[in-house]
C-alpha cells in the first residue's frame, strides 16, 4: 500500500468523522427542542407539540443550510468575506432579524393558498400543517445535498398545497394565487439578472473601461455606495422592520436619502485621501466595494431572518395555536410565540454553520467567477428587485432573484467577452498575414484604450484596410468554436440546468411529498 493511498484513506476518515460530528450536533439541537416543547404542555397534546416542534427545528436547520446562502454567497465568492466570516455574520443577523423583527402574526394558510373553511376539523388542519413542515424540510434537505439553492417559500407553498388537496380535494386550492407563484419562477430570476447586469455594465462603462480606473472610481464609487445605502435603507425599513415600524414608501425613501447623503460625504472624503493608500488598477477598484459588501451581507441576513423565517415556521405556529392559545380552533393566521421564533432562529444558525458552506460555494463560485464589483451588483439587484416587485404586487422569490443576479452578471461577462473577441478578430483580419508585429503593437494600444477610443481605433483600422488585401486569420468555424470556449469558461451550464430544474420541480415535488405524508399521518393518528 503506497503513501498516496494511505493519505486518501485518512482524508476520507476525517470527512466521515466531520459528517458524524455535524449530524450529532444537529440531533442534539432537535432533542433540546423536543424537551422544551414537552415542558410547554402535558398529556396527549404534549405528544403532538413535541412532534411538531421536532419537525419545526429540522425545518429551521434546513433553511439555514440552504436559503441563507443567497445573502452571503456572492460576498464569499468575491473574497470580500471569508467563509468563516460570512457564517458568523449571517448567524448573528439572521437570529437578530428573527427574534427582534420577526412577524408577530403569520399567515399559516400560506398567502391564501387553501381555504380553511373547507377543512373539516382541527385535527385535519394539524395533519396538513405537519405534512407541510415535513415535506418542506425534506425537500430543502435534498436540495442542500446536491448544492442547489431553492426557495423556502415555494417549498412551504407546495407542501401546504399538497396537504390541502389530500385532505379536501382540488376545490380547496386558490388557483389564482398558485398561478402568481408559478409566474414568479420566471419573474424573479429575470428581473434579478437584468438589474445585476445593468449595474455591472454601468460600472464597466464608468470605471473599468476608463484609462485611469482609480481616478474614475473616485468620482463614481461614492455615488454607487450612496445608491446602495438608499436602497438598503428602504429595504430594511419596508421589509426588515415592518413588524416594528409602519412607514410608507415615501417616508422610507426620505430617510434613505438622508442616510445616503451621509454615506456619500463619508465615502467621497475617504477616497480623497492620499493615493498611496489605495491599490491601483482593477484590484484597487474591487477593494473599494469590500466594506459595502460586508454591510450588504449583514442587512440581507437581517431582513431574511425577519421575513422568511417567520413564514417558514408558520405551520409550527399554527399547530401551537390550535393546541395552546385557541384549543380546537384554527384559522388563517396565528401569533408566533417567542419560543417558536427561538426554534427558527437557533435552527437557522445551527443549520447554516453545519451544512451551509456547500450551497454558499455553489452561489459564490459554482456558477460564474465573482469579484467585489460583480457581487455588489448582485446585492443591489436583490434589494431593488424586491422593492419594485413589492410595490407592483408581483410575487417574487428572494432566492431566485439572488441566483438570477449571479446568472445576469455571468451572461453579461460572456457577451462582453465575445464582443471583445470579435473586435480582436476584426483587428487581425484587417492586417496582412505577415505583419504580426503590427498586430501586436495595435492590440497593446487597443487593450489600454477606453471604450470610446476602442471604437475610434476600429473604425480607423477598417478605413485603412479597404485598399489592402484582407486575408482572414480565422475561419468562420474557428471563430464559432472560440466563442463556445469563452461561453463555457464564464458560465457553467451544468450548474444552471441543475438549479433551474430544482426550481421547477420544487412546488410539485413538495406537494406530492406532503400529500403522501398527510395520508400516513391520518392513517396513524385518526
Between the alpha carbon of residue 152 and those of residues 8, 59, 193, the distances in Å are 37, 10, 20
Please tell me which of 65-79, 164-178, 231-245, 372-386 the model is most confident about, judged by mean pLDDT.
Answer: 372-386
**What burial class does residue 281 get, using C-beta atoms within 10 Å of its C-beta: 0-12 exposed, 13-18 middle, 19+ buried?**
exposed
Which pLDDT value is given to residue 200?
Answer: 92
Reduced DSSP (H G I as helix, E B as strand, rest coil) percent helix, strand, coil of the chain, to 5:
80, 0, 20
Least confident of 14-28, 137-151, 269-283, 293-307: 269-283
182 contacts 396 by C-beta, under 8 angstroms: no
Give me the percent of the chain exceeding a pLDDT of 90: 16
Average pLDDT rounded to a whole number, residues 426-441: 63
If you count DSSP H runs as helices and E runs as strands, how many of each does the chain have, helices first?
20, 2
| 467: CB partners within 8 A, 6+ apart | none
Exposed, middle or buried by CB within 10 Å (0-12, 13-18, 19+), for 124?
buried
For residue 106, the model assigns a pLDDT of: 46
Q: What is the pLDDT of residue 193?
A: 92
pLDDT of 333 strictly over 70 = no
Chain centroid to Cα 446, Å, comes to 37
Please state whether 107 falls in left (phi above 0), alpha (psi between -120 and 50) or beta. Answer: beta
Average pLDDT, integer, range 175-197: 83
Q: Which three cell numbers stand for residue 381?
A: 439587484
More confident residue, 423 or 214: 214
The model's pLDDT over 33-76, given as tens digits with 9 standing for 90+, comes to 888 888 866 555 577 788 888 888 898 888 888 887 778 888 88
pLDDT of 10 > 60? The answer is no
* 473 has pLDDT over 50: no
pLDDT at 260: 94
| Cα→Cα distances 78→191, 229, 299, Å | 22, 20, 18
Rounded to the nearest integer, the mean pLDDT of the chain is 79
How many Å separate Cα 116 from the centre of its chain? Answer: 32
Q: Give the model's pLDDT for residue 510.
A: 94
Straight-line distance from the first to the last Cα atom of the chain, in angstroms, rounded to the nearest whole number: 59
pLDDT of res. 471: 40
pLDDT value of position 182:
77
pTM above 0.85, yes or no: no
pLDDT digits (tens, 9 = 90+) for 257-273: 999 999 999 999 988 87
Residue 328 pLDDT greater than 60, yes or no: no
Alpha-carbon distances, residue 337 vs 94, 106, 111, 444 (angstroms): 18, 11, 20, 66
Residue 321 has pLDDT above 80, yes or no: no
User: What pLDDT does 462 receive?
Assistant: 65
- φ and ψ of 335, to 5 deg: -70, 145
Residue 195 has pLDDT above 90, yes or no: yes
Average pLDDT for 211-216: 84
Query: Contact 495/142 with Cβ under 8 angstroms?
Result: no
| 232 alpha-carbon distance from chain centroid | 16
Residue whose C-alpha cell is 446536491: 146
Average pLDDT over residues 311-327: 71
Amino acid at each position: 500500500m503506497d503513501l498516496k493511498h494511505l493519505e486518501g484513506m485518512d482524508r476520507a476518515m476525517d470527512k466521515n468523522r466531520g459528517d458524524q460530528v455535524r449530524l450529532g450536533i444537529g440531533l442534539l439541537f432537535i432533542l433540546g427542542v423536543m424537551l422544551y416543547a414537552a415542558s410547554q404542555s402535558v398529556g396527549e397534546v404534549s405528544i403532538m407539540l413535541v412532534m411538531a416542534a421536532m419537525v419545526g427545528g429540522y425545518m429551521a436547520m434546513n433553511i439555514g443550510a440552504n436559503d441563507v446562502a443567497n445573502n452571503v454567497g456572492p460576498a464569499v465568492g468575491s473574497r470580500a468575506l471569508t467563509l468563516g466570516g460570512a457564517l458568523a455574520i449571517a448567524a448573528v443577523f439572521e437570529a437578530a432579524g428573527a427574534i427582534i423583527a420577526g412577524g408577530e402574526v403569520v399567515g399559516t394558510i400560506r398567502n391564501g393558498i387553501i381555504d380553511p373553511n373547507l377543512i373539516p376539523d382541527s385535527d385535519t388542519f394539524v395533519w396538513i400543517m405537519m405534512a407541510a413542515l415535513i415535506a418542506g424540510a425534506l425537500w430543502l434537505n435534498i436540495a442542500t445535498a446536491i448544492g442547489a439553492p431553492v426557495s423556502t417559500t415555494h417549498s412551504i407553498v407546495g407542501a401546504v398545497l399538497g396537504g390541502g388537496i389530500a385532505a379536501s380535494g382540488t376545490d380547496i386550492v386558490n388557483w389564482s394565487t398558485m398561478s402568481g407563484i408559478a409566474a414568479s419562477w420566471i419573474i424573479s430570476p429575470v428581473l434579478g439578472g437584468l438589474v445585476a447586469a445593468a449595474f455591472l455594465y454601468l460600472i464597466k462603462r464608468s470605471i473599468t473601461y476608463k484609462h485611469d480606473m482609480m481616478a474614475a472610481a473616485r468620482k463614481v464609487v461614492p455615488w454607487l455606495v450612496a445608491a446602495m445605502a438608499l436602497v438598503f435603507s428602504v429595504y430594511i425599513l419596508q421589509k426588515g422592520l415592518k413588524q416594528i415600524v409602519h412607514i410608507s414608501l415615501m417616508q422610507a425613501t426620505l430617510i434613505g436619502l438622508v442616510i445616503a447623503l451621509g454615506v456619500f460625504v463619508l465615502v467621497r472624503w475617504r477616497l480623497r485621501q492620499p493615493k498611496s493608500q489605495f491599490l491601483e488598477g482593477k484590484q484597487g477598484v474591487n477593494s473599494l466595494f469590500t466594506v459595502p459588501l460586508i454591510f450588504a451581507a449583514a442587512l440581507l441576513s437581517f431582513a431574511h431572518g425577519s421575513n422568511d423565517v417567520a413564514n417558514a415556521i408558520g405551520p409550527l405556529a399554527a399547530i401551537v395555536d390550535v393546541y395552546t392559545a385557541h384549543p380546537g380552533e384554527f384559522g388563517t393566521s396565528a401569533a408566533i410565540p417567542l419560543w417558536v421564533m427561538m426554534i427558527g432562529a437557533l435552527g437557522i444558525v445551527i443549520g447554516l454553520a453545519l451544512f451551509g458552506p456547500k450551497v454558499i460555494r455553489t452561489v459564490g463560485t459554482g456558477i460564474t467567477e465573482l469579484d467585489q464589483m460583480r457581487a455588489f451588483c448582485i446585492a443591489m439587484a436583490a434589494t431593488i428587485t424586491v422593492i419594485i416587485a413589492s410595490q407592483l404586487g408581483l410575487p417574487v422569490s428572494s432566492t431566485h432573484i439572488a441566483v438570477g443576479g449571479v446568472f445576469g452578471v455571468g451572461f453579461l461577462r460572456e457577451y462582453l467577452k465575445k464582443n471583445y473577441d470579435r473586435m480582436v478578430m476584426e483587428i487581425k483580419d484587417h492586417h496582412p498575414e505577415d505583419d504580426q508585429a503590427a498586430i501586436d503593437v495595435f492590440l497593446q494600444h487597443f487593450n489600454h484604450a477606453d471604450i470610446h477610443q476602442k471604437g475610434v481605433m476600429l473604425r480607423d483600422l477598417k478605413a485603412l484596410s479597404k485598399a489592402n488585401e484582407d486575408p482572414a486569420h480565422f475561419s468562420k468555424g474557428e471563430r464559432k468554436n472560440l466563442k463556445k470556449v469563452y461561453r463555457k469558461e464564464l458560465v457553467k451550464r451544468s450548474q444552471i440546468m441543475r438549479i433551474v430544474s430544482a426550481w421547477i420541480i420544487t412546488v410539485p415535488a413538495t406537494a406530492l411529498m406532503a400529500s403522501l405524508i398527510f395520508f400516513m399521518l391520518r392513517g396513524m393518528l385518526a
